[in-house]
């Protein structure tokens, strides 16, 4: 199936990154969110990143303008009626995602593939909110989207081969490396990553080490580019907690129990970089 217009639901950190790589691949993009200020902030972030590329000589000013010219902002989800492929990149909340997919199913043409950037919620569960489960798929980008090469592609039980192939090919056209995962809570990436982050939080909770010490051990001892607590702050502690709760609920295994300190930070509004305070403080 040919994709010419690519829709993105959500203009936050992940959504505007997905919109950017789609526009850079030559697609027309509709970037939607619930408020003008959200889409304006998302577009401003894209503009800033593209301007940096121009300053570094990675693209020309004309190329930057062409990319921005392919991005249309929207605060009305009905605008997705003109999209050939839609990716949902809203908050990691099952109820919210269900509502979005029900609405998209009503608005979008029957041939349109509906993808989700969910970090952990089973694709089959999301697909049941639509009348097109064969056209629902997971397309999990990594953060920051313009930099990270991986796209985790997750088939639901009903996902068709055509849907899978179209999504795979799109990922390649975006300059990404796709990897296939089966539909289990957390898929591959977060089933491995989040328990490690959660265990790092337990180390802090039990006073095994300071945040700096824990992150230094993992960076210098395990050659990780950044420590797990700094990474949690980048992801967002609310997102980390939501993923751990999905894993715990999905597997009913105590090894996925979210650390009480993680929950405490989220309840206090210490969500990481986006709020200026998480395991570290940010100006």
Q: Which residues are annotated as a binding site?
A: 10-15, 33, 92, 97, 119, 143, 274
Nearest to 9 by CA among 73, 84, 94: 73
The question of whether 119 is a catalytic residue gets the answer yes
Q: How many angstroms separate the CA atoms of 43 and 69, rounded?
A: 11
Place of tokens 């921005």: 68
Residue with tokens 């697609």: 27
Query: Which phi and psi (to 5°) does residue 73 adopt?
Result: -95, 155
Query: Annotated catalytic, 152?
Result: yes
Indicate the annotated binding residues for NAD(+).
10-15, 33, 92, 97, 119, 143, 274
Say which of 25, 45, 190, 198 is annotated catalytic: 190
Cβ neighbour number for residue 4 with a 10 Å cutoff: 11
Tokens for 184?
């289990």
- The answer to whether 206 is a known catalytic residue is no
Q: Which of 152, 171, 198, 245 is catalytic?
A: 152
- Return d(Cα 272, Cα 91) in angstroms, integer: 15
CA distance 244 to 197: 10
Q: Tokens for 196?
A: 């490690």
- Choosing from 16, 140, 198, 245, the catalytic residue is 140
Q: Helix axis angle, 61-69 relative to 13-24, nearest 10°? A: 110
Query: Taking a C-beta distance cutoff of 8 angstroms, is the pair 145, 176 a contact?
Result: no
- Closest Cα to residue 80, out of 129, 31, 131, 132? 31
What letter does residue 82 receive in the DSSP assignment? Answer: G
28 noted as active-site residue = no
| Residues across the chain | 283
The residues annotated as belonging to the active site are 119, 140, 152, 190
């Amino acid at each position: 199936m040919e994709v010419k217009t690519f829709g993105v639901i959500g203009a936050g950190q992940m959504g505007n990154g997905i919109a950017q790589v789609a526009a850079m691949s030559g697609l027309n993009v509709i970037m939607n969110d619930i408020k003008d200020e959200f889409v304006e902030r998302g577009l401003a972030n894209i503009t800033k990143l593209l301007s940096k590329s121009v300053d570094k000589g990675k693209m020309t000013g004309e190329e930057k303008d062409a990319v921005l010219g392919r991005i249309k902002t929207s605060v009305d989800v009905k605008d997705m009626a003109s999209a050939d492929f839609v990716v949902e990149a809203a908050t990691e909340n099952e109820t919210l995602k269900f509502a979005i997919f029900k609405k998209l199913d009503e608005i979008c043409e029957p041939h349109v593939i509906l993808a989700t950037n969910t970090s952990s919620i089973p694709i089959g569960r999301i697909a049941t909110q639509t009348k097109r489960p064969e056209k629902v798929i997971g397309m999990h980008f990594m953060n920051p989207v313009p930099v990270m090469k991986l796209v985790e592609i997750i088939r639901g039980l009903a996902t068709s081969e055509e849907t899978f192939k179209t999504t795979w090919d799109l990922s390649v056209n975006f300059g990404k490396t796709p990897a296939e995962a089966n539909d289990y809570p957390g898929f591959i990436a977060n089933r491995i990553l989040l328990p490690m982050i959660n265990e790092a939080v337990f180390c802090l909770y039990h006073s095994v080490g300071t945040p700096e010490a824990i992150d230094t051990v993992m960076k210098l001892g395990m050659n990780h580019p950044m420590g797990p607590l700094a990474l949690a702050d980048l992801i967002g502690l609310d997102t980390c907690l939501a993923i751990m709760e999905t894993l715990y609920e999905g597997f009913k295994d105590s090894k996925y129990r979210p650390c009480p300190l993680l929950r405490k930070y989220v309840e206090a509004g210490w969500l990481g970089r986006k709020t200026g305070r998480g395991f570290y403080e940010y100006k």
